[in-house]
Structure 1
Amino acid sequence: MIRLDTVGKQNGKQILFIEASAALNKGEKVGLVGPNGAGKTTLFRLITGEEQPDEGQVIVERGVTIGYFSQDVGEMEGRSAAAEVMDGAGPVSEIAAELKELEAAMADPDRADEMDDIIIRYGDVQGRFEELGGYALEGRAREVLSGLGFSQEMMDGDVGKLSGGWKMRVALARILLMQPDVMLLDEPSNHLDIESLIWLESFLKGYEGALLMTSHDRAFMNRIVGKVVEIDAGSLTTYSGDYEFYERQRLLNEAQQQAQFERQQAMLAKEIKFIERFKARASHAAQVQSRVKKLDKIERVEPPRRRQTVAFDFPPAPRSGEDVASLKNVSKQYGARTIYDDFTFSIRRRERWCVMGVNGAGKSTLLKLIAGAADPDGGTVAVGGSVKMGYFAQHAMELLDGERTVFEVLEDKFPLAGQGSLRALAGCFGFSGDDVEKRCRVLSGGEKARLVMAMMLFDPPNFLVLDEPTNHLDIATKEMLIEALADYEGTMLFVSHDRHFLAALSNRVLELTPDGVHQYGGGYTEYVARTGQEAPGLRD
């Protein structure tokens, strides 16, 4: 369906592709992987024709429809979320908009003298809407939006009033409803909670077209793709298998290449030693010449390119008391909605609680109550003696001084730390080279989140309260964070939609449901085994 044939592409001084080739065939589900800045988004833009290759060609079969979801969703306002999603389905959306206008006109007493014409027109438009499957389309649009976490009220409300994350979901819903021959999805798992992620997984498994996607969620990627294309050093390498297979195979390939390189280096050293030893002897002149010619003809094996991975050395946190935090008979309301009523819960030292619950169950509210960012309406919240808390919330990113650079922010926070250790810290969280000189006002949401996380973990608290800490983090940074937190000896309370993160770090589960609060000993993996579900309210 789509083929890249010896493609070359350069952006400014950066070479993205050199004679790169790959193919996307009918019905294939392919994961696109590679380091940040390797050219994943550029590859999508080459396929859609938004950019042209400098060399080679991108071939898309005639008549193939492509739906492209990117992180740049553009402006949305003035229509309902449902109408915006249906707009992606083509002409039927225009007819749906006219139907709504005619319905409003029929209810307008000032247009009573036009009523006969309006009713005739309404009949014609309604007939055309039915002919194009409009009523079924609206039902499907609402089904997709519901799967992505929208309430009926949000579906009918002005899309312009939604946050950026919810607008992303609307843009994704448009592509899903469109059902093109090929879907290009650039980070579709961003901004989704775990319930929406699992729904999207199921949807994409059942999708019959071809799929090419990137994702920072390894569990999500692993369950969907059957092939992986890796971008690295300008070339495209294809692996036939899921994400786990790709990881294993890449490590195996690197080990084999390293062994081959070392064998060749040993052989070359032996030959060079012979040449150096006998080059001055006339009796060995022929042998020396023969070996020199042989060395000139040998194709050199390159050592494998090492992915730059930086381990974060987590300093030990001071020990807290055994009782870290407790809520007693807590009640909390927002307007007419009761979040907690007579809720009692305690956290002991070295427990790692992950909090599960559907949207609106009170996950973030619980973290805010314990962190002191919100007050209970009734009952008490207490934090134990010797507890040094670190609270990570999305709003913390808004408090960064926009005029300070990344490095200046770290220096301001830790004036006694050496430049080397601060640069190492920045590197762990994805700020290498000139990135440390970026001003905070130009940082993306993900970069701000990483900077806030770096500041919190450099001088570690003994109680971490984390609200979606993995949002925007790429797979490599998540792995670094998981490894660092695995050795952490403090206490944790966290919310995350990343199942790999949940499974790796939790040893307790607090489940918030409409039927009440449930506590499970054992971590997320045990919770899934005991309940048969990956999130509250969902069944496999």
Structure 2
Amino acid sequence: MIRLDAISKQSGTHLLFVEASASVLRGEKVGLVGPNGAGKTSLFRLIAGQEAPDEGQVSIDRGVTIGYFNQDVGEMAGHSAVAEAMNGAGPVSEVAAQLKALEADMADPDKMDEMDEIIERYGEVQHRFEELDGYALEGRAREVLAGLNFSDEMMDGDVGKLSGGWKMRVALARILLMKPDAMLLDEPSNHLDLESLIWLEDFLKGYDGALLMTSHDRAFMNRIVGKIIEIDGGSLNSYSGDYEFYEQQRALNEKQQQAQFERQQAMLAKEIKFIERFKARASHASQVQSRVKKLDKIEKVEPPRRRQSVAFDFPPAPRSGEDVATLKGVHKAYGAKRIYDGLDFQVRRRERWAVMGVNGAGKSTLLKLVAGAAEPDAGAVTIGSATKMGYFAQHAMEMLDGEATIYEDLESSFPQAGRGSLMTLAGCFGFSGDDVEKKCRVLSGGEKARLAMAKMLYDPPNFLVLDEPTNHLDIATKEMLIQALSAFEGAMLFVSHDRHFLAALSNRVFELTPEGPHLYPGGYAEYVASTGQEAPGLRH
């Protein structure tokens, strides 16, 4: 269906692909993996026809339709979310636009003279709309948007007034509604809450077309794909199986290649030693010559490529008191919307609370109250003695000095730290080499989030309050963060839509529901087992 034959592609001075080949067959669900900058987005653009390879060929079967979702959503203002989602559905979206324009004309008193003609034209267009199953399309559009957590009000409101994250969801809905023969999804799990993520997972499992996707969410990837294409040093390697199988197989392949390399190196060393020892002796000339020829013919085994995986030992946090944070009789409302009505909640030392709840339940509000970023309308929020808090949320990214480079920002925050230590810290969070010379004002949202996280953990608090800390982190950085936080001995209160992160780090769950809060003594895995749901309001 989609074939990449011996493609080569260079971006600036960076070689992305060198005679690389891979294929996506009809109905296959494939995960595309590789480190940042390896060329995942470039590969999507090659398949979508937005770029051409320098050498080789990208072949797509005749008549195959391709839907490509990426992070660049473009301008959407002036339309409703429903209209914008329907906009990518082919001819029917054009007919829908004509219907809308004619409806406006019918309501325009200045066009009374033309009304007979408008009504006649409306009947023709409406008939064409029905032929194209247009009314069902709007129902499907609303269904998809509801799955992505849009309220009716948001569906019918102007997309231009939505945040970037919600616009991304509209762009994603457009591709899902289109139902092409092949979908290219570049990070579709970004900007989604847990409920939307699980809905999308189910949608993609039921999709019968071909799928090629990237995602920083390993649980999401594992549930959907049955094949992995890995970009590794310019080549494309295919693995049959999910992401977990790929990781195991890659580790096994590297182990075998390392053993093969070491065996060959030992043999070569032995042969070279013989040649060096006897090359000056005429009596051994023929043997020496024979061995030199043998060495020339041997195909050298390369050692496995070392992937950059930086581990960082974060300094231990100072010990806090037993009571870290206490909320007593807390009331909080935004206008007419009541969030909390007499909430009691306590965080104790070494407890790691995952906060669960549907959109608008008050997850971020709870974190803001605890962090002092919001005040309760009534009741008290008390932080325990000897508690040193670290709060990660959107505002942490806005506190960066735009004119400073990444390294300068780290250096000004930690003037006593050595350059080596700060470079290692930067490397852990995906800033290597010349990256540290980037000005903070040019960083993407994801890069700013990583820098803010690095600064918070270098001088660790004993109470971490984290609002979606894994957004924008790739799988390798996420794993490093999980390992670092696993050894963290303080308390944690966090919101995350990453199920791997939730399961690895929580030992308590605080669920916010319309009936009131529920406390679960175990972590996220125990919560799923006891409730039969992965997110509030959803069933397996």
1:438 aligns with 2:441: no
**Per-residue deviation at 1:514?**
1.1
CA distance in 2, matches of 1:153, 1:437: 44
Counterpart-to-counterpart distance in 1, 2:122 and 2:26: 41
Partner of 2:465 in structure 1? 465
Q: Distance in 2 between matches of 1:346 and 1:297?
A: 71
Aligned residue pair count = 540
Q: Which amino acid aligns with 2:383?
A: V
Query: Which residue of 2 is the match for residue 204 of structure 1?
Result: 204
Deviation at 1:181, TM superposition (A): 0.4
Aligned partner of 1:425 in structure 2 is: 425
SS in 2 for 1:319: coil
SS in 1 for 2:502: helix
Structure 2 residue aligned with 1:114: 114
Runs of 5+ unmatched residues, structure 1 = none
1:224-243 matches, within 5 Å, as 224-243=224-243
| Alignment RMSD | 0.9
Displacement of 1:352 in angstroms is 0.1
2:323 corresponding residue in structure 1 = 323
Q: Deviations over 1:492-516 (max 9, x none)?
A: 0000000000000000000011121
Using structure 2 for the length normalisation, give the TM-score.
0.99
Alpha-carbon distance, 1:80 to partner? 0.2
2:36 partner letter: N
TM-score normalised by structure 1 residue count: 0.99
- 1:310 CA drift (Å): 0.5
Structure 2 partner of 1:20: 20
Report the CA distance between 1:376 and its aligned residue: 0.6
> 1:112 Cα shift?
3.4
**Quick one: which amino acid aligns to residue 182 of structure 2?**
V
Q: Does 1:528 align with 2:528?
A: yes
Cα displacement string for residues 346-399 of structure 1 (whole angstroms, at most 9, x for unaligned residues): 010000000001100000000000000001111111100000000000122122
1:127 positional shift:
1.5
Give the 4+ runs in structure 1 shifted more than 6 A. Answer: none
Where does 1:337-376 land on structure 2 (aligned, <5 Å)? 337-376=337-376
Report the Cα offset of residue 415 of structure 1.
1.1
What residue is the counterpart of 1:62 in the other structure?
62
1:159-200 Cα distance to aligned partner (Å, 9 max, x none): 011100000000000000000001000000000000000000
Aligned AA (1:65)? T
SS across alignment from 2:340: strand
Confirm whether residue 127 of structure 1 aligns to residue 127 of structure 2: yes
Aligned partner of 2:158 in structure 1 is 158
Deviation at 1:521, TM superposition (A): 0.7
Q: 2:173: which partner in 1?
A: 173
Task: Supply the AA of the counterpart residue of 2:473.
Answer: L
Pairing 1:258-407 to 2, within 5 Å after superposition? 258-407=258-407
Q: Distance in 2 between matches of 1:415 and 1:53?
A: 47
% same residue: 81
Unpaired segments ≥5 residues, structure 2 = none
Cα distance in 1 for partners of 2:507, 2:46 equals 45
State the Cα deviation string for residues 440-484 of structure 1 (Å, max 9, x = none).
111011000000000100000000000000000000000000000
Shift of 1:402: 1.1
Distance (Å, rounded) in 2 between the aligned partners of 1:293 and 1:117 = 91
The CA deviation string for residues 396-435 of structure 1, in whole angstroms up to 9 with x for no partner, is 2122121110011111111111111111111111111000
1:6 Cα shift?
A: 0.6
Partners in 1 of 2:396 and 2:465 — Cα distance? Answer: 13
Deviation at 1:109, TM superposition (A): 3.6
SS in 1 for 2:62: coil
CA distance in 2, matches of 1:511, 1:485: 22
Q: Give the conservation status (yes or no) of the 8 Å contact 1:312–1:481.
A: no
Query: Offset of 1:130 from its aligned partner?
Result: 1.1
Corresponding letter in the other structure for 1:292: V
SS in structure 1 at match of 2:326:
strand
Distance apart, 1:99 and its partner CA: 2.0
> Does 2:6 match 1:10?
no
Find the aligned partners of 2:333 and 2:201 in 1 and give their Cα distance: 34
Question: Greater CA deviation, 117-126 or 385-394?
Answer: 117-126
Q: Which residue matches 2:252?
A: 252
Cα distance, 1:321 vs structure 2: 0.3
Superposition map of 1:39-58 within 5 A = 39-58=39-58
CA distance in 2, matches of 1:450, 1:216: 14
State the distance in 2 between where 1:379 and 1:102 align: 56
**After superposition, where does 1:83-102 map in structure 2 within 5 Å?**
83-102=83-102
